[in-house]
Amino acid sequence: MGEILVAKGLSKQFGGLQAVADLDLDVRRGEILGVIGPNGAGKSTTFNMIAGALAPSSGTLVFDGKDLTGLPAHAMAARGIIRTFQHNKPFASMTVRENVMVGMHLRLKGSLWRVLLAGTGAVRAEREAVQRADELVAFVGLGDCRDADVDTLSFGQGRLLEIARALASEPRLILFDEPAAGLTLAECERLTDIIRQIAQRGIAVLLIEHDMRFLMALADRVVVLNFGRKIAQGTPAEIRADDTVVQAYLGDLGAMAHA
Amino acid sequence: MKSIAGFLVAALVLSAIAFMLGSYHTDVYRKLLLWITLALGYNFLFGIAGQVAFSHFTFYGIGAYAMVILLFQVGLPLPLAILAGIVVCVVLALVVAIPATRLEGFYLALATLAFAQLFIVVLNEGGSVTGGPGGLANYRLPDILGVRVTGPWYTVVIVFLLLGTLAILWRLDRSWFGRACRAVRDDPQAAQAMGINVTTTRIVAYAVTSALAGVAGMVYAFVDNTVNPPIFGLENSFLLLFMVIVGGSGRHAGAIVGAILLYLLPFFLSPLIGHHHALVFGVVMVAVVLFQPKGLIGIWDHLTARRRMAP
């Protein structure tokens, strides 16, 4: 199982604050890699650098053998790295299906002349896109509300829509930013199930999560960050037994008790 | 195929009307068609792509002036003048769009307002090229293949301009590009995460709609056979915005309804209240924004939805 994403010496500085320092990280094909750490450990910064929302101060990001360091978000997406948002970001004026069809942008886009001139071809491509969108909507379990406006969805349904939309672009690496946050227990179980199925389709998954229990049940490997540095890496079982990790989390709790 | 049939019927009906009108009503009808054309383009820019720009009417003016200058001062033959006019519009649109679309909302509005004002200044100060405050007049459409296109036949040209514009915008709207425009309008960050290049999408939407306004301006140049600065002032840019909002922004049908209503309203109001129709516009505008943000087309949707639900 080879690596699809290799980050080397990734660092990000905000003024005097070293948010992430010299981080090495790799995601293998078809695996679920979890990244955990206490608040302020640099999880989101790491996430945003891989997603292209933040340019790293130093270090390199190599995806499938190509250097993508510092590319903007849409270019990362075009290379096959697709993110979801912790706070759902649906396209508010569209239906569920249309939202998913926006996710197909990279597959559908072509020359504007062809849009204007190619009659039946464009119509057929659109019809196929609708069909594919409906499949994805059904896959995440939103089949009954595919024609609904997104503002009628619950928070949990909105999260599922985020996933369907991300899958629509046929990513090779999908980034989840605290996907379990704000979900009910039943929704969490459904989410776990869906993320497993995504990995089974051969899509690599990188999961940033605050919730240890959710992550440990799901991840093949776990990377632990604290104060912007990697302090441990291994299988969930190894991480559970790791002293530094326990300390980091206990230390965090201790600090909170004093605050 | 159904939509092609619809376009053919519309072309026949709208063209037939042209042959039934006297000279006064021909003038009203032609300008109504031009306003609908402009409103359709502006609806794509403002309603679908979400860009609050005030330069749409300016590009109408640029197209009109470019046509007259290229034909009668540069001396290009008609087909070349049309092509060169489109190039002028696209180039100017890019000059405005590349810096301006990096700006959002308020700042884009300001930049395009400034551009619209600058255009009027250039027209007034342009000496013999633009004819200064008096503009350019005393010209007429060159013969096309030896035929002089006038009267109702020129109105037919405007009908085809309208339907061509609608067809292009319709196609764009119902493609990946239209979806990308709406996505950028709704949430640029999420659009970017889906691989949409936000800046390029904005620039293309601006350039395409501005070029369409320019082409409409080229056709307009031979409606009054005169172009002068007051025609292309800011007042009309705002009227265009009102048309789209009152009709229902983001919808082709909304733009058409809004353009028809606001263009024809003064004709019915002025016998009653003289030149105070601007006051009525203001009231209509405020009422729509407050009570019917989806515009008049939203009321129509509401009624048809209710009828569909009734047995």
**What does the pLDDT average to over B221-247?**
93
Question: How many structural domains comprise chain B?
Answer: 1
Tell me whether B179 touches chain A (CB under 8 Å): yes
Secondary structure (DSSP) of B126-186: -HHHHTGGG-B-S--PPPBTTB---HHHHHHHHHHHHHHHHHHHHHHHTSHHHHHHHHHHH
| B106: confidence class by pLDDT, cuts 50, 70, 90 | confident
pTM: 0.91
| A241: confidence class by pLDDT, cuts 50, 70, 90 | confident
φ, ψ at B82 (rounded to 5°): -65, -50
pLDDT for the residue B303: 86
Tell me whether B175 touches chain A (CB under 8 Å): yes
pLDDT for the residue A118: 67
Closest CA–CA distance from residue B71 to any residue of chain A (Å): 28
- Work out the percent of chain B whose per-residue pLDDT is above 90: 71
Closest CA to A126 of A140, A115, A142: A115
Question: In whole angstroms, what is the distance from residue B120 CA to residue B231 CA?
Answer: 10
Closest CA to A26 of A1, A45, A52, A57: A1
- Contact (CB<8Å) B195/A105: yes
pLDDT for the residue A252: 53
Q: Which of B183, B193, B204 sits opposite A73 (nearest CB)?
A: B193
The pLDDT tens digits of the residues spanning A148-180 come to 999 999 999 999 999 999 999 999 999 999 999
Closest CA–CA distance from residue B10 to any residue of chain A (Å): 20
Name chain B contacts of A98, Cβ cutoff 8 Å: 179
Q: Is residue B182 part of a domain?
A: yes
φ, ψ at A29 (rounded to 5°): -60, 130
- DSSP tag of A41: S
Average of per-residue pLDDT values in chain A = 90
Positive/negative CA dihedral, B249, B254, B259, B265: negative
Range from B98-112, B209-223, B277-291 that averages highest in pLDDT: B209-223
The pLDDT tens digits of the residues spanning B168-200 come to 999 999 899 999 999 999 999 999 999 999 999
For residues B25 and B104, the model is more confident at B25
- Among the listed ranges A89-93, B150-154, B267-271, which one has the minimum average pLDDT value? B267-271
CB burial class (10 A; 0-12, 13-18, 19+) of residue B214?
buried
> By the 8 A CB rule, do B133 and B228 touch?
yes
- Contact (CB<8Å) A112/B194: no
pLDDT for the residue A254: 44
Tell me whether B221 touches chain A (CB under 8 Å): no
**What does the pLDDT average to over A206-222?**
90
Residue of A nearest to B181 (CA): A102
**What does the pLDDT average to over B273-284?**
79
Question: In whole angstroms, what is the distance from residue A88 CA to residue A96 CA?
Answer: 13
Q: Is the pLDDT of residue B57 over 60?
A: yes
Q: Is residue B46 part of a domain?
A: yes
Q: Which of A85, A102, A116 sits opposite B171 (nearest CB)?
A: A116
For residues B260 and A120, the model is more confident at B260
Neighbours of B190 (CB within 10 A): 25
Q: Is residue B33 part of a domain?
A: yes
Question: In whole angstroms, what is the distance from residue A196 CA to residue A98 CA?
Answer: 25
Closest CA–CA distance from residue B214 to any residue of chain A (Å): 19
Q: Which of B179, B180, B194 sits opposite A77 (nearest CB)?
A: B194
| B236: confidence class by pLDDT, cuts 50, 70, 90 | very high
Question: In whole angstroms, what is the distance from residue B264 CA to residue B258 CA?
Answer: 10
| Domain range annotation of chain A | 3-92+157-258
Question: In whole angstroms, what is the distance from residue B196 CA to residue B188 CA?
Answer: 9
Q: Is residue B226 part of a domain?
A: yes
Question: In whole angstroms, what is the distance from residue A166 CA to residue A160 CA?
Answer: 10
Half-sphere CA count of A251, side-chain side, radius 13 A: 12
Q: Is residue B63 part of a domain?
A: yes
Neighbours of A244 (CB within 10 A): 13
| B311: confidence class by pLDDT, cuts 50, 70, 90 | very low
pLDDT for the residue A84: 94
Question: In whole angstroms, what is the distance from residue B286 CA to residue B282 CA?
Answer: 6
- Work out the percent of chain B whose per-residue pLDDT is above 70: 97
Q: Is the pLDDT of residue A257 over 50?
A: no
Please count the residues of chain A: 259
Neighbours of A217 (CB within 10 A): 13
Question: In whole angstroms, what is the distance from residue B157 CA to residue A112 CA?
Answer: 25
Q: Is residue B288 part of a domain?
A: no
Helix (H, G, I), strand (E, B) or coil at A33: strand
SS3 string of B52-68?
A: CCCCHHHHHHHHHHHHH
Q: Which of B172, B185, B187 sits opposite A89 (nearest CB)?
A: B187
Average of per-residue pLDDT values in chain B = 91
Q: Is residue B117 part of a domain?
A: yes
The pLDDT tens digits of the residues spanning A60-84 come to 999 999 999 999 999 999 999 999 9
Query: What is this model's ipTM?
Result: 0.90
pLDDT for the residue B97: 86
Domain that holds residue B225: 2-233
Closest CA–CA distance from residue A116 to any residue of chain B (Å): 6
**What does the pLDDT average to over B85-111?**
86
- Contact (CB<8Å) B176/A115: yes
Angle at B269 between CA B227 and CA B255, to 5 degrees: 60
CATH number of A3-92+157-258, picked from 3.30.390.50, 3.90.1200.10, 3.40.50.300, 3.40.190.10: 3.40.50.300
Secondary structure (DSSP) of A78-142: HHTEEE--SS----TTSBHHHHHHHHTHHHH---HHHHHH-HHHHHHHHHHHHHHHHHHHHHTT-
* The residue to which tokens 């319709």 are assigned: B170
Please count the residues of chain B: 311
Q: Which of A101, A106, A116 sits opposite B195 (nearest CB)?
A: A106
Closest CA to B193 of A103, A191, A172: A103
Residue of B nearest to A76 (CA): B195
